[in-house]
């Protein structure tokens, strides 16, 4: 049975025809239109294109934002002007197919659980480190959605009392300490100091700012300032994972997003902070850590796998 998976981002829409084993048989990528009515029509057009050569049984759509528990409505999307958008009804009407709507981080996490780094486990937490921090939780082989459909907003765990202000309206959230922006912030602070911040300061003077990829390149070249910036962010993430272990007791943490390219260079300090922070660490089983496998395909693959025919 073939399903269409659509991953709607703020700038790009990725679509694919996905089989039961997670293989992508056809794919397309287009720009995201600013007009929401045009956006829905673009998705319908992509599905029609797939149906011209494939027998599609159902459609799964991944979108950033809060999705209601019935997986029909986008309650709020941060990068698209959707407020209580009845997306399922619009797409069902436009395609005549069953449509399932899912949060993008949940979809990506489900793809890793089914087809990627999480294969073989029943209890998994995925954290995606990008501009912010996304999350997905699988318990007993089921995706955790919560009572209102908005579970696993792991980037908004408050980890520092009276900490840095967050775009969610609170302060001290994890994504202020363990995201791509946090890497840039830590690198900039280190660049302002003598000693280990020299290479970071030189890069900033030449380019006007310090990007996350620049920090990664410097780390891989052995720069101590970049190494310290990544260590701080990885430590914040590892400490948060220890708290999640106390609540959820996963077998595996999967780390995705841009930092995943660093592999063990990032996981090593995450594990160290996790091990130092876990309650009862000398007497309890602990989780494994892995880098996500599926990268940019995870959203559409997970959306397709969650689609109900």
Specify the domain boundaries for CATH 3.30.420.40 within the chain: 2-110+297-306, 120-292
Q: Give the class (CATH, top level) of 120-292.
A: alpha beta
Average pLDDT, rounded, for the chain: 95
- Of the pLDDT bands very low, low, confident and very high (cuts 50, 70, 90), residue 294 is very high
Question: What is the pLDDT at residue 309?
Answer: 63
pLDDT tens-digit readout, 253-264: 999 998 999 999
Q: Give the class (CATH, top level) of 2-110+297-306.
A: alpha beta
Question: What is the pLDDT at residue 283?
Answer: 85
Residue 25 near residue 19, CB atoms below 8 Å:
yes
pLDDT tens-digit readout, 86-134: 999 999 999 999 999 999 999 999 999 999 999 999 999 999 998 889 9
pTM of the entire predicted model: 0.93
Cβ-Cβ contacts under 8 Å for 195 (sequence gap 6 or more): none
Secondary structure (H, E, C), the chain: CEEEEEEECCCEEEEEEECCCCCEEEEEEEECCCCHHHHHHHHHHHHHHHHCCCCEEEEEEEECCEECCCCCCEEECCCCCCEEECHHHHHHHHHCCCEEEEEHHHHHHHHHHHHCCCCCCCCEEEEEECCCEEEEEEECCEECCCCCCCCCCHHHCECCCCCCECCCCCECEHHHCCCHHHHHHHHHHHHCCCCCCHHHHHHHHHHCCCCHHHHHHHHHCCCHHHHHHHHHHHHHHHHHHHHHHHHHCCCEEEEEEHHHHHCHHHHHHHHHHHHHHCCCCCCCCCCEEEECCCHHHHHHHHHHHHCCC
pLDDT tens-digit readout, 59-97: 999 998 899 999 999 998 887 889 999 999 999 999 999
Residue 271, φ and ψ in degrees, nearest 5: -60, -40
- Dihedral (Cα; 109, 110, 116, 118), 10-degree rounding: 80
pLDDT tens-digit readout, 178-203: 999 999 999 999 999 878 999 999 99
Question: What is the pLDDT at residue 167?
Answer: 87
The C-alpha atoms of residue 129 and residue 178 are separated, in whole angstroms, by 7
């Amino acid at each position: 049975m073939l399903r269409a998976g659509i991953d709607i981002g703020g700038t790009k829409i990725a679509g694919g025809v996905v089989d039961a084993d997670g293989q992508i048989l056809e794919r397309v990528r287009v720009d995201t239109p600013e007009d929401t009515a045009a956006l829905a029509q673009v998705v319908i057009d992509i599905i029609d294109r797939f149906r011209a050569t494939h027998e599609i049984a159902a459609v799964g759509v991944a979108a950033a934002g809060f999705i209601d528990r019935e997986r029909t409505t986008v309650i709020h999307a941060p990068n698209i002007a959707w407020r209580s958008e009845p997306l399922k009804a619009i797409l069902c009407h436009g395609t005549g197919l069953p449509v399932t709507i899912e949060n993008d981080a949940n979809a990506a996490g489900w793809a890793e659980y089914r087809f990627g780094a999480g294969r073989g486990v029943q209890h998994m937490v995925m954290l995606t480190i990008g501009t912010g921090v996304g999350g997905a939780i699988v318990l007993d082989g089921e995706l955790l959605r919560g009572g209102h459909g908005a579970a696993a907003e792991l980037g908004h765990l408050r980890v520092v009392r009276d900490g840095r202000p967050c775009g969610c309206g609170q302060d001290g959230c994890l994504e202020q300490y363990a995201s791509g922006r946090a890497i840039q912030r830590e690198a900039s602070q280190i660049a302002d100091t003598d000693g280990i911040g020299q290479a970071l300061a030189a890069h900033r003077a030449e380019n006007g700012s310090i990007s996350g990829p620049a920090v990664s390149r410097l780390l891989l070249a052995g720069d101590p300032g970049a190494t310290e910036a990544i260590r701080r962010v990885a430590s914040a993430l590892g400490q948060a994972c220890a708290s999640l272990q106390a609540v959820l007791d996963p077998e595996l943490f999967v780390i995705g997003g841009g930092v995943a390219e660093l592999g063990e260079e990032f996981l090593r300090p995450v594990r160290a902070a996790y091990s130092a922070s876990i309650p009862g660490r000398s007497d309890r089983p602990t989780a494994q850590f892995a880098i996500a496998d599926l990268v940019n395909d995870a959203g559409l693959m997970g959306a397709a796998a969650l689609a109900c025919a």
